[in-house]
Amino acid sequence: MRIAPINEAEAIIEPFWDGGSSEHPGNKLSLVDRYTVAVSSAARAKVTQGWCAAEVRIDRAEPGEPVVTMERDCDLSVADYDVFRVFGSLPSWVRMTVSAVVDGGDCLLIDTTGPDTNDEFDGRFKGSRMSRLRLTFAVTEPRPAGVSLMWLGLSNRQAQDRMEARTSPYTPDWHGSLETEPRDAGPEIGITFDDQDLAELRAKIAGGPMAQVFAGLREAAERLLDSTPEADIGYFVPKPDRRWCRNRDMKRTSTAADMEFLAFVGLVDANPAMSRMAARMALSAAHCDTW
């Protein structure tokens, strides 16, 4: 186990997601194998390495008593951090307790039940060296449960707050990158359709059933004109997905599909405002660090 910084404030110490691909279930890097796993003799449960998480499966257990314990030695210099974090999926009837040995003493980091979805579970600590880690799971109701652990990490709370408060320096004008005045637009490469196809499409939506369908598309595209994609320029192209994304990123706007939508309606309708917004979204995506 080692500390792998991912930005100025946070680090990953256990990348459970890095278990290989779902196409080759028997050929995986199993971080679970580095843990001593104990299951209560009165319970039926197991811990396995999945393709994107360590999976804790509890088929039968009595409420209240520890069912599964995962424990391992480590030697981490944690003086720069004061938050221990678990990212994973935890049911509301499962109690997760995380403890560690910090500077030679036992330290309770996290003691919580889940929100029935993926979330970040944080616990504060103070110390300079972490030498042993233990995760314990118990049920509060006599029913099966599943827990997915994506990763374990560390954070410096003050540095993280400062980082998250920082705003994007990009503005909607994109000086020198956008046409100042609208010009006639049409398909240039013709992969999807050419000028003749565009004329036929415009004729189809002029009346009949296609007119009503396209009117719905137009209304949806118009609602996107109030977007500010520049505000979401950051370390990756926004795509809020509760399975993988951080809490702070769930409110960001996913523009990957929106830009295509706006570009299509803007082209068919010859609407420069929609075309410009699509271009702004594309420029914003291009300026993110990671796609």
| pLDDT of the residue at 107 | 97
| pLDDT of the residue at 51 | 85
| pLDDT of the residue at 5 | 97
How far is the C-alpha of 72 from the C-alpha of 6, rounded, in Å? Answer: 23
- Closest alpha carbon to 1 in 69, 77, 53, 86: 77
Whether 18 has a pLDDT exceeding 90, the answer reads no
How far is the C-alpha of 41 from the C-alpha of 58, rounded, in Å? Answer: 13
Question: pLDDT tens digits for 123-175?
Answer: 999 999 999 999 999 999 999 999 999 999 999 999 999 999 999 999 999 99
Domains of the chain, by residue range, sit at: 4-165, 195-286
| Residue 198: count of CB within 10 angstroms of its CB | 18
| pLDDT of the residue at 26 | 61
Question: What is the sign of the dihedral through the CA atoms of 47, 239, 242 and 124?
Answer: positive
* In contact, 264 and 271? CB cutoff 8 Å: no
3-state secondary structure of 51: coil
| Residue 132: count of CB within 10 angstroms of its CB | 15
> Percent of the chain at pLDDT above 90?
76
Question: pLDDT tens digits for 224-250?
Answer: 999 999 999 988 888 888 888 999 999
How far is the C-alpha of 253 from the C-alpha of 11, rounded, in Å? Answer: 25
CATH topology of domain 4-165: Jelly Rolls (2.60.120)
How far is the C-alpha of 172 from the C-alpha of 281, rounded, in Å? Answer: 10
- Closest alpha carbon to 18 in 32, 5, 6, 39: 32
Place of tokens 């505000």: 231
* Averaged confidence pLDDT in the chain: 92
Span 62-87, average pLDDT: 97
**How many degrees, rounded to 5, is the angle at CA 111 between CA 18 and CA 149?**
15
Could you please report the per-residue DSSP string of 138-187?
EESSSS-EEEEEEEEEEE-HHHHHHHHHPPP---TT-TTTS-SS------
| pLDDT of the residue at 63 | 95
Q: What is the DSSP letter of 188?
A: S
